[in-house]
Chain A
């Protein structure tokens, strides 16, 4: 039935050694009145019958829809080698590398992963992963509170609203103050962000490219934050880092982001991974597991979990975070993705994303009644006004097998006409042309 190998003979022998008459006797320490009052689950089945159950659910999963939607999660290529290597059972059926001598595979891979994140973000120290983009942003905000000893965060409202939701929930729990600054059109309101930073501000959090797809340079904001003793937290989209200014280059103190785009499948919301990187001087304030390099007694190089005195299993309620299990295997996929593409391939991929989105932008902008709302540069996402409510248009295009974008009305009051359109390298010219044709047709009706 299940996966227990014990035969009736094994069970008899074991009970004899234990000195118990039956397996049920082993549950005698549980008082009778505490026994389960119900346990109504259907009978089991074989794995062959299970296929049918799961296939039926997966078939109604929307995978046939062509996605021009993102929201932090993007449909990118994944080299076959990534899936095959991450499916090595030595990686995926191991656990947290508490015993380094028999876990060097995971430990070295995580060290390499931390290196990849540092190099992409232009920062100096990373950890073994966080849960997702939203919780990574929340952890970064909590980290900034610890670093500065302050209790207030200035949050650019052009940061992904799903991530902002998580940030606000986390910060409310510790009674920290969050001031959200509305965007100006599709760009961050830099003047208001700067004006909001005070001597009480622990950090200002921005996203690049932002939720509308706009790319900005936050160097001046970083300088302003530093003047006030505050940090700059930059949430970033890793694929964009093949082309756009890195958080480190802009003077950010903490970079975070959703790592899904690096080699992880869409999978209806997870598992993905969140990443975080910072300046070396803040390393002791990082949440989660960190792998460090060292040597053994014979001087051989090896890797261990390090700076564990920050963590919950040692510090308990004084830990930098409660995180224990993280998203290690997803981070491993992220590492393999960066290594499979390599230095040039990664940059080429970013450029290809840019070109595809620019093509789509020009096609959509050519439709009567449609206008691009981003004032400046964008990266693989952009915002258009359809000149009428966007939600019904998106809904009508679903019938043609296209998810045309994310309507903004639900997230930004007054932006009912606006639609964020995502175009990755996987969208073909003919798919983009079809999107444009269908949008045009919908707007004529």
Chain B
């Protein structure tokens, strides 16, 4: 399909802008004036609409296809959340920051405070900030808060511990917050090696970052012990909430011994993934860390009104305003609509669906850790590799059959990983259809491996040459 720039016709105009109702000003100074006009496309409104409508049809999405992308929690995004979030479209954030403006934005401020309280109860933390704009941003913020805590105690610790099964964002975020990384290998039972962890823990460690259930979809039974070992050394514990969808109402990270957490509103709390964002990554902390949360804070006053207050001991700003408010509004609405019982049902059905998937597929696919899983299960295509078929080939076959593939080649500690997260919003019938194609792929891998190497063939393009892209570095239209 042509690029919008290739559809441009000189002199064609699109959307008309308003007429001026003020006198023409004296000309803008020539020396400050742009020398060359920006070459934006010249298309009609219909050209525009048809272009992007047709482009959208080249995507798989939750609304069009089962999308069991492990670790991403691609649940259904209820339409009502889009509508209620749009109610706030006209609210200017600077209004909250000018003198006397707070009283005009009590609604959004009360929503922020309400969401913080909901998340604190769900996770067992004492206070929450909604400022971080995505999961990784939450991780970085959380580690900055931890750094500020240690600094206030006159300690300068150097290391953050992460398991090798962690998301890449964990070590990357800790590095951006100024720490060196210590990576702990996975033990044969599928979680961080306790002995190696114990050996790595010392007074130079600022924190350990854990995802629980971990990226294999397994709940680590030693998690309380891991926290205790950290605390004994004066280190803090960080909970990556990527997999919170598995445990709502069952486990609260704060009860287990975690000091700092982030949650991904775009995973657990049903906000859309937007083709790669916007997300939202609120951070929760235990009482001892409240002073170090980023500035400003939304505070509920004695008279029940809300104010925006500087948080002088805290780390500075990590984003410009109060977070991705539109996403927060959707999550607040989601939690309000589902209620406590509804959230428990979410986790129960997510875990049920994942275990069903695991039970149905483990006959044909290797299951490195054959035990009850939480909200996702991780297979390996190592059996298929013997016939020259890799995880990527199975993924591409699924595309041809109308399913978005699971996450492949992650986590890194499983060879040829296929990570399936059905989520609670998928029916048994949808999963059965997916399972049938997965089983079919396993058969084709034995009978006609070449067929899998050619997949996909029913898509707008086939397998793309990534090496060529990296070499050419063509990242914008040069026409």
Q: Which residues of A contact B29 (CB under 8 A)?
A: 376-377
B386 in contact (CB, < 8 A): no
> How far does the Cβ of A25 sit from chain B's closest Cβ, in whole Å?
8
Judge whether A1 and B178 touch: CB under 8 Å: no
> How far does the Cβ of A103 sit from chain B's closest Cβ, in whole Å?
6
Q: Which one of A149-157, A179-187, A227-235, A289-297 contacts B?
A: A289-297
B75 in contact (CB, < 8 A): yes
Judge whether B4 and A112 touch: CB under 8 Å: yes
A:18-64 near B, CB below 8 Å: 18-20, 23-24, 26-31, 33-47, 50-51, 53-63
Q: How far is the CA of A92 from the CA of B248 in the complex (A)?
A: 25
The list of the 4 closest CB pairs from A to B, nearest first, reads A44-B339, A269-B321, A329-B274, A60-B107
Judge whether B136 and A325 touch: CB under 8 Å: yes
**Of A99, A289, A425, which contacts B405 at CB under 8 A?**
A99
Asked whether A268 and B321 contact (CB < 8 A) given A111-B475, A328-B274, the answer is yes
B237 in contact (CB, < 8 A): no
Beyond A39-B343, A85-B53, A317-B172, 6 additional pairs, beta carbon < 8 A: A65-B104, A92-B274, A265-B86, A322-B176, A342-B12, A406-B94
Q: Which residues of B contact A325 (CB under 8 A)?
A: 134-136, 264, 266, 273, 276-279
A:361-386 near B, CB below 8 Å: 376-377, 379
> How far does the Cβ of B79 sit from chain A's closest Cβ, in whole Å?
8
Q: Which one of A72-80, A193-201, A435-443 contacts B?
A: A72-80
With CB as the reference atom, state the residue of chain A lying closest to B176.
A322
**Of A90, A242, A270, A403, which contacts B326 at CB under 8 A?**
A270
Judge whether A38 and B63 touch: CB under 8 Å: no
**Of A3, A336, A341, which contacts B424 at CB under 8 A?**
A3
Judge whether B340 and A43 touch: CB under 8 Å: yes
Q: How far is the CA of A243 from the CA of B414 in the complex (A)?
A: 54
Chain B interface residue count, Cβ-Cβ cutoff 8 angstroms: 207
B395 in contact (CB, < 8 A): yes
A253 in contact (CB, < 8 A): no
Q: How far is the CA of A352 from the CA of B93 in the complex (A)?
A: 24
> How far does the Cβ of A376 sit from chain B's closest Cβ, in whole Å?
8
**Pairs across A and B, CB under 8 Å, 28 listed:** A39-B249, A50-B336, A57-B110, A62-B104, A69-B92, A106-B59, A119-B38, A134-B319, A134-B320, A142-B176, A163-B320, A169-B315, A173-B178, A267-B326, A269-B93, A270-B327, A271-B327, A296-B462, A300-B460, A303-B464, A304-B464, A312-B171, A317-B172, A319-B172, A325-B134, A345-B16, A394-B99, A398-B104
Q: Which residues of A contact B199 (CB under 8 A)?
A: none
> How far does the Cβ of B2 sit from chain A's closest Cβ, in whole Å?
10
B204 in contact (CB, < 8 A): no
Q: How far is the CA of A64 from the CA of B136 in the complex (A)?
A: 35
With CB as the reference atom, state the residue of chain A lying closest to B329.
A54
Q: How far is the CA of A43 from the CA of B355 in the complex (A)?
A: 28
**Highest count of chain B CB atoms <10 Å: which of A5, A92, A166:** A92
Counted as pairs of residues, one from A and one from B, with CB atoms less than 8 Å apart, the total is 719
Q: Which residues of A contact B52 (CB under 8 A)?
A: 85, 88, 109, 336
B304 in contact (CB, < 8 A): no
**Of A2, A65, A128, which contacts B346 at CB under 8 A?**
A2
Q: Which residues of B contact A90 (CB under 8 A)?
A: 56-57, 59-61, 63-64
With CB as the reference atom, state the residue of chain A lying closest to B474.
A293
Q: How far is the CA of A373 from the CA of B259 in the complex (A)?
A: 49
B466 in contact (CB, < 8 A): yes
B97 in contact (CB, < 8 A): yes
Judge whether B89 and A2 touch: CB under 8 Å: no
Q: How far is the CA of A111 from the CA of B359 in the complex (A)?
A: 41
Judge whether A102 and B59 touch: CB under 8 Å: yes
Judge whether A395 and B100 touch: CB under 8 Å: yes
> How far does the Cβ of B185 sit from chain A's closest Cβ, in whole Å?
14
B137 in contact (CB, < 8 A): yes
**Of B33, B359, B473, which contacts A244 at CB under 8 A?**
B33
Judge whether B337 and A342 touch: CB under 8 Å: no
**Highest count of chain A CB atoms <10 Å: which of B52, B87, B181, B339:** B52
Judge whether B343 and A296 touch: CB under 8 Å: no
Main secondary structure of the interface of B (DSSP, over half): loop
Judge whether B172 and A322 touch: CB under 8 Å: yes
B283 in contact (CB, < 8 A): no
With CB as the reference atom, state the residue of chain A lying closest to B84.
A54
Q: How far is the CA of A114 from the CA of B3 in the complex (A)?
A: 12
B:341-389 near A, CB below 8 Å: 341-346, 348-349, 351-353, 355-356, 358-360, 371-372, 374
Judge whether B173 and A322 touch: CB under 8 Å: yes
A387 in contact (CB, < 8 A): no
**Of A99, A293, A318, which contacts B395 at CB under 8 A?**
A99
- Proximity string of chain B (395-435) to chain A, C-beta cutoff 8 Å, 1 when within and 0 when not: 11001000011010010000000000000111110000000
Judge whether B171 and A104 touch: CB under 8 Å: no
B:22-49 near A, CB below 8 Å: 22-26, 28-29, 31-43, 45, 48-49
B58 in contact (CB, < 8 A): yes
Judge whether B121 and A40 touch: CB under 8 Å: yes
B:263-316 near A, CB below 8 Å: 264, 266, 270, 272-280, 294, 315-316
Judge whether A345 and B356 touch: CB under 8 Å: no
B:45-89 near A, CB below 8 Å: 45, 48-49, 51-53, 55-65, 67, 69, 72, 74-78, 80, 82, 84-89
Q: Which residues of A contact B181 (CB under 8 A)?
A: 316-317
B:102-139 near A, CB below 8 Å: 104-108, 110-111, 118, 121-122, 124, 133-137, 139
